[in-house]
Amino acid sequence: MNSLRNSVRLVGNLGADPEIRNFDGNSKQLARFSIATTESYKNDKGERVTETQWHNMIAWGSQAKFIGTYLKKGDEVAIEGKLTNKNWVDKDGNKRYATEVVVNDFIKLKEYKFSQYEEVYRYNRPWARFNKRQVPKTGKAEVR
Torsion of CA 113, 132, 105, 110, to 10 degrees: 30
Residues 33 and 91 placed together within one structural domain of the fold: yes
Give the length of the chain: 144
Q: Identify the pLDDT of residue 125.
A: 44
Q: E strands within 24-139?
A: 28-42, 48-60, 76-89, 95-108, 112-113, 119-122, 131-134
Flag whether pLDDT at 126 surpasses 60: no
Counting residues of the chain whose pLDDT is more than 90, the rounded percentage is 58
- What pTM, to 2 d.p., does this model score? 0.69
Residues 98 and 124 placed together within one structural domain of the fold: no
Map residue 66 onto helix, strand or coil.
Answer: helix
Closest of 30, 31, 32, 50 to residue 40, by C-alpha: 50
CATH of the domain at 71: 2.40.50.140
* Rounded Cα gap, residues 102 and 109, in angstroms: 19
Residues 92 and 24 placed together within one structural domain of the fold: yes
**What is the total count of domains within the chain?**
2
DSSP state of 130: P
Residues 99 and 137 placed together within one structural domain of the fold: no
* Rounded Cα gap, residues 77 and 75, in angstroms: 6
Q: What mean pLDDT, rounded, does the chain reach?
A: 80
Residues 94 and 119 placed together within one structural domain of the fold: no
Look up the domain containing 18 and give its range. Answer: 2-41+49-109
Flag whether pLDDT at 131 surpasses 70: no
Residues 97 and 135 placed together within one structural domain of the fold: no
Q: Identify the pLDDT of residue 142.
A: 47
In tens, the pLDDT along 88-107 reads 999 999 999 999 999 999 99
Higher pLDDT, 130 or 50: 50
Residues 72 and 92 placed together within one structural domain of the fold: yes
Residues 30, 20: contact at Cβ < 8 Å? yes
Residues 77 and 121 placed together within one structural domain of the fold: no
Point out which residues pair with 22 in neighbouring strands.
29
Host H or E run for residue 43: none
Confidence of residue 36 (pLDDT cuts 50, 70, 90): very high
* Rounded Cα gap, residues 74 and 141, in angstroms: 19
Residues 144 and 87 placed together within one structural domain of the fold: no
Residues 8 and 32 placed together within one structural domain of the fold: yes
Residues 8 and 28 placed together within one structural domain of the fold: yes
Residues 53 and 122 placed together within one structural domain of the fold: no
Confidence of residue 76 (pLDDT cuts 50, 70, 90): very high
